[in-house]
Amino acid sequence: MTDSLFGDAAADDPHGPIEAAAASEELLRLARHLPERVYLGTSSWAFPGWQGLVYGGEYTESRLARQGLAAYGRHPLLRAVGIDRGYYQALDSAEWARTAREVPERFRFLIKAPAAVTDAVTRGGRHAPGQAVSANPRFLDPAYATERFVIPALEGLGEKTGPLVLQFAPMPAELTRDSPALIERIAEFLVRLPASHAQVRPIYAVELRNPELLTPRFVHRMREVGARLCVGIHPRMPPVARQAAALRTMDAQAAPDSGWSLAGPLVVRWSLHGGFGYEQARSRYAPFNRLLDPDLVTRGTLVHLIRVAVRSGQSAFVIVNNKAEGCAPLSCLELARALADRAD
């Protein structure tokens, strides 16, 4: 049996399709108000705790992983989803095509590049940052990234392809010590990725885990090679306001005489609440059905960035993890409410 995006699935499930939760009048109103090119979504969809929020019944995690995407795609506000699975193992175009058929035409997927090309070292387990084993010979290999990631994604997802995120795991000091050389290596890698394929122009977005690389040189080179800075909200990185300032610097350079407007799509991954590790956040927030730690500062900055994107005629992709505030669908709901409240 070939490995698939949905894991070990039975040929047919005897219990029928997953039901979507009933949409309230408020959800429908907010969805009508949300600008067409604003894509709010969550990181994955297989969470039984979302019963009544996304799903209309009680389902296991494994069943949601196999069959829940279609119901997720019917949620009025959730127009995108982040998929991390390809970070651990490259997926082929047929798997991406099966995934794309589950959702409406307006839907978009934000997917992470394989760690095989974005992690400078090989690691034990599921690429835990503290488990470095040896130097990774495929690090920043454009041929591998093109063949195993970019082309399969574009061919399989087509127009439903959202940002292709290159999330660089924390890099060893011997690399970051010469940050100009490392930034140049990343830029040269990006230049050698396909500018288009299967009539789709990919959006490449770079997400860092080394804050010392978030420099004027970095944003300048990313602008030059046509990549976007992915605003990665994570305790390892500076606060979202500082990353927003870097994004502003990046795009102000692109249009210095016209005030600040985004020169490309807004890409955000809101991954983890400040001060927590992933396992600590998982224990605190499971089953992910309540907002336990509302982060009004981050929300406010994101609403501002989304509104800048809308005014600039750009798309905005905001993917939220359960470990950001406790429940990703409710975080998306609060962002939509704030956008509606601040509408011009």
DSSP 188-236: HHHHTS-S-BTTB---EEEE-S-GGG-SHHHHHHHHHHTPEEEEEESTT
Task: For residue 198, give its domain range.
Answer: 25-341
- The CATH number of whichever domain residue 210 belongs to comes to 3.20.20.410
Can you give the pLDDT at residue 237?
A: 95
Domain assignment present for 15:
no
- As given in the structure block, the two tokens for residue 308 are 């800048």
φ/ψ bin of 25: left (φ > 0), alpha (ψ from -120 to 50), beta (otherwise): alpha
Please identify every stretch of the chain with a pLDDT value under 70, giving residue numbers as ranges.
Answer: 1-15, 124-132, 253-259, 342-344
Can you give the pLDDT at residue 253?
A: 65
Can you give the pLDDT at residue 257?
A: 56
Domain assignment present for 18:
no
Can you give the pLDDT at residue 2?
A: 38
Can you give the pLDDT at residue 127?
A: 47
Domain assignment present for 9:
no
Whole-structure pTM value:
0.92
Can you give the pLDDT at residue 258?
A: 58
Residue 295, classed as helix, strand or coil, is: coil
Domain assignment present for 30:
yes
Can you give the pLDDT at residue 344?
A: 44
Looking up tokens 């894991």, which residue turns up?
Answer: 7
Can you give the pLDDT at residue 89?
A: 86
Domain count, the chain: 1
Looking up tokens 């429908």, which residue turns up?
Answer: 28
Can you give the pLDDT at residue 123?
A: 76
Looking up tokens 């982040």, which residue turns up?
Answer: 82
Domain assignment present for 14:
no
Domain assignment present for 16:
no
DSSP secondary structure string for all residues of 239-250: -HHHHHHHHHHH
Query: How would you class 111 by CB atoms within 10 Å of its CB: exposed for 0-12, middle for 13-18, buried for 19 or more?
Result: buried
pLDDT tens per residue across span 147-177 = 999 999 999 999 999 999 999 999 999 999 9
Domain assignment present for 227:
yes
Domain assignment present for 142:
yes
